[in-house]
Structure 1
Amino acid sequence: MIYIQQFFIIIFICFLGLACARERPTQSEFSLKERKVFGKPGVTDRTEIEWILRLLAESIIDENLEPVLIHINEEEGIWVDLKAHWTKKQFREEWNEKNGYFQTYFFSTELLRKQKSNTTSLSVKDILLKSEGFSLDFYFESKEECEVDIIFNSSSPLEGDLSNPVFRKIGNRWYLYRLL
């Protein structure tokens, strides 16, 4: 009987490992490197946050934020910029809008320039593509909150156009709490 239980536990762990492996994004065209860490993170905290940040950047470049949804906490919601807090449901609805917030500010430089009547504005996607990758400084405010400062490899003045993403740990998982 004990062997049967152990067998099923091993099978369960194998299936769980396969399922988690499928959720991992492919290697990005740009690099992410850790520079400095301030505060006292747990053993895997930086790795998990970096993985979510890479997924976010790749999702923005792919213009598909669906993979990011599982990293937004249902109760906490998300700050999409410094002034707007949305529920997970609002986030999902808005990124599907044809000329909505994400299409304008995150994906389409052309729409953004029309919106702002400014010929130099760039979408978050184009800023990420011009960054040539970035380095990360982790600021652990506590064991449950971390702000990440993004430093572009290209030494571009555009890095100031992005907000520092913030992550919150709820239970044993890190969630995206504020977008780029």
Structure 2
Amino acid sequence: MSKDADEILALLTQITQLTKNRKLEELKPFISDSKGIYIDLKSWKSKEEFLEEVRKEDGYIDLYFYHTEKLSKEKGELNVRTVRDLLILSEGLKVDFHFETNQACEIKLRFEKNNEYETELNNPYFIKENGNWYLYRLF
């Protein structure tokens, strides 16, 4: 693996653990000050807006990342899974690196187990700025 792939994989491992441990506020150093972060495919937040969103009880992050019962009620469906649920169900992740440039990389996630749920997660996206890799799109 390349040095960049190693760095991204280390970031992804930390981000996955923070998500499983319900500690997304600790993502702060992994988000670019100038570029911010997409919390899904369409919703961009500045770094500070993201941190505010993480702190909100019943906010988007709280609902879609952590609270299965609330999400089920919100969507009116029984078989819904939060991002955290999906990461736990995966029983480990395999990753495919798709470097669009030497400054941008999308990660295709594959599950060790329960791979029928893989499509329920967004592919994380990383950008390189001033020699450092940052998370640009969450799961």
Classify the TM-score, shorter chain.
over 0.9
| Percent pairwise identity | 36
Counterparts of 1:54 and 1:168, CA distance in 2? 16
User: Is residue 81 of structure 1 aligned with residue 36 of structure 2?
Assistant: no
Q: How far apart are 1:92 and its partner, in Å? A: 0.3
AA of the residue aligned to 1:152: F
Q: 2:24 aligned to 56, 65, 80, which one?
A: 65
Tell me the residue number matched to 2:119. 160
From 3, 6, 10, the counterpart of 1:51: 10
Indicate if the aligned counterparts of 1:55 and 1:67 stay in contact, CA closer than 8 A: no
Q: Distance in 1 between matches of 2:26 and 2:6?
A: 18
Q: TM-score, normalised by structure 2?
A: 0.96
In 1, Cα distance between the equivalents of 2:108 and 2:29?
23
The alpha carbon displacement at 1:155 in A equals 4.2
User: 1:150 Cα shift?
Assistant: 0.3
- Partner letter of residue 24 of structure 2? L
Larger Rg: 1
Match status 1:175 vs 2:134: yes
Q: CA deviation at 1:56?
A: 1.0
Counterpart residue type for residue 125 of structure 2: V
Encode CA deviations 1:43-99: one digit per residue, 9 max, x unaligned: 421111111111111111111112211010011011111111110011000101111
Once the two structures are TM-superposed, the CA of residue 156 in structure 1 deviates from its matched residue by: 2.2
The amino acid of 1:163's aligned partner reads: N
Query: 1:136 maps to which residue?
Result: 95
Task: Write the deviation string for residues 2-49 of structure 1: whole angstroms up to 9, x where unpaired.
Answer: xxxxxxxxxxxxxxxxxxxxxxxxxxxxxxxxxxx7xxxxx4211111
**CA-based RMSD:** 1.1
Query: Do the aligned partners of 2:25 and 2:55 also contact (CA within 8 Å) in 1?
Result: no
- SS state of the match for residue 107, structure 2? strand
Secondary structure at the counterpart of residue 11 of structure 2: helix
Counterparts of 2:76 and 2:114, CA distance in 1? 26
Query: How many residues are matched?
Result: 139
Determine whether 1:100 maps to 2:72: no
Q: TM-score, normalised by structure 1?
A: 0.75
Aligned residue identity for 1:105: Y
